């Protein structure tokens, strides 16, 4: 690799330009640029030059936040006795709202938790935590 090629490497994969960043953990609440490298936040600053990034997206009309946690969902999908699929699929609904982590609020109980974990939790890109229902079949099969 020549010296000019080495100097042309971009330090960021993606640059979000001019969004209103709200990050309470780091005391940020204002217009900022966010630089991303290897799917991780690499820099947050008032102005990051576009030349440092492979791609830039202008987000001045948007809020930029860390992933949101939804603490009450029902994402254990199961088929009811009349054939309907109950609950929602986490990956189909939550990421569009900025939710990266959710807590299923007791849809599964001890009897069906393993199936919930293997079929839903382990396969989901959205991080799913779960409250285990006191009923053996959870809300899904509360009569069991």
pLDDT digits (tens, 9 = 90+) for 73-98: 999 998 777 777 789 999 999 999 99
What does the pLDDT look like over 116-129, one tens digit per residue? Answer: 999 999 999 999 99
Return the bridge partners of 20, or none: 31, 63
pLDDT of residue 113: 95
Using alpha carbons, select from 101, 98, 131 the residue that is nearest to residue 116. 131
Query: Which distant-in-sequence residues (6+ apart) come within 8 Å of 122 by Cβ?
Result: none
Domains recognised in the chain with CATH numbers: 3-64 (2.30.40.10), 68-131 (no CATH)
Rounded-to-integer distance, Cα 91 and Cα 82, Å: 25
Q: What is the pTM of this model?
A: 0.73
Question: Beta 12-23 vs 53-58: how paired, if at all?
Answer: parallel
Name the 3-class secondary structure at 30. strand
Mean pLDDT of 52-70: 96
């Amino acid at each position: 690799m020549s010296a000019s090629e080495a100097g042309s490497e971009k330090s960021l994969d993606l640059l979000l330009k001019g969004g209103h960043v709200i990050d309470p953990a780091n005391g940020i609440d204002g217009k900022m640029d966010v630089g991303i490298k290897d799917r991780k936040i690499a820099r947050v600053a008032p102005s990051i030059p576009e030349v440092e990034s492979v791609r830039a997206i202008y987000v001045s009309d948007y809020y930029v936040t860390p992933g949101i946690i939804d603490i009450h969902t029902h994402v254990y999908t199961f088929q009811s006795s009349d054939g309907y699929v109950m609950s929602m699929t986490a990956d189909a609904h939550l990421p569009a709202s900025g939710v990266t982590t959710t807590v299923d609020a007791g849809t599964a109980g001890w009897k069906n938790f393993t199936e919930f974990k293997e079929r839903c939790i382990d396969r989901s890109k959205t991080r799913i935590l779960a409250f285990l229902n006191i009923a053996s079949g959870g809300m899904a099969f509360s009569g069991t």
